[in-house]
C-alpha cells in the first residue's frame, strides 16, 4: 500500500500507537496495540478488528458534552495527555469514538474559574 510510519509512541496507560501515512493522501491511519497486562487488552477474536474511530476536535470537552447529550454513551471523560485533550464515547453499536484536540490553556482556566 506504500504507507510509511510517520509517528510512533506509547500512551500513558501503556498502549502503543503507530501512525501510518500514504504519500497520496493527507489522512493518517492509527494502529493501536495493548500489552496483555493493559486494562484495554482483549484476546483477538474474529470481528474485533476495529478498535475505535478518531475525530479531530477544536474543543474536545464541548464535543464530548454535545455527543453525550444526543445519546452517545460516555466511555472516558475528557482528559489531558501531554499537549492533547482526549475523550471517548460509544456509538449505538458500541463502537468507540475518540475525540482528539490540542490542549488549550484557556480551557483549563475556564474549568478553574467555573468551580
Series of mean pLDDT values for 10-residue runs along the chain (115 residues)? 87 91 86 89 71 87 95 96 94 87 69 43
Cβ atoms of residues 8 and 19 within 8 Å: yes
Do β-strands 28-33 and 16-21 pair in parallel, antiparallel, or remain unpaired?
A: antiparallel
How far apart, in whole angstroms, are the C-alpha atoms of residue 89 and residue 97? 5
At 112 the three-state DSSP class reads helix
What digits encode the pLDDT tens for the residues 3-20? 899 999 999 999 999 999
CB-CB neighbours of 57 under 10 Å: 21
Read off the C-alpha cell for 97: 469514538
Among candidates 86, 70, 71, which has minimal Cα distance to 32? 86
Amino acid at each position: 500500500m506504500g504507507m510509511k510510519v510517520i509517528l510512533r509512541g506509547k500512551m500513558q496507560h501503556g498502549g502503543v500507537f503507530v501512525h501510518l501515512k500514504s504519500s497520496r493522501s493527507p489522512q493518517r491511519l492509527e494502529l493501536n496495540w495493548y500489552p496483555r497486562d493493559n486494562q484495554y487488552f482483549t484476546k483477538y477474536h474474529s470481528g474485533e478488528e476495529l478498535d475505535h474511530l478518531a475525530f479531530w476536535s477544536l474543543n474536545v470537552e464541548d464535543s464530548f458534552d454535545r455527543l453525550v447529550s444526543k445519546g452517545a454513551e460516555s466511555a472516558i471523560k475528557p482528559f489531558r495527555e501531554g499537549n492533547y485533550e482526549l475523550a471517548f464515547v460509544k456509538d449505538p453499536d458500541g463502537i468507540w469514538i475518540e475525540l482528539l484536540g490540542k490542549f488549550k490553556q484557556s480551557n483549563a482556566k475556564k474549568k478553574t474559574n467555573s468551580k
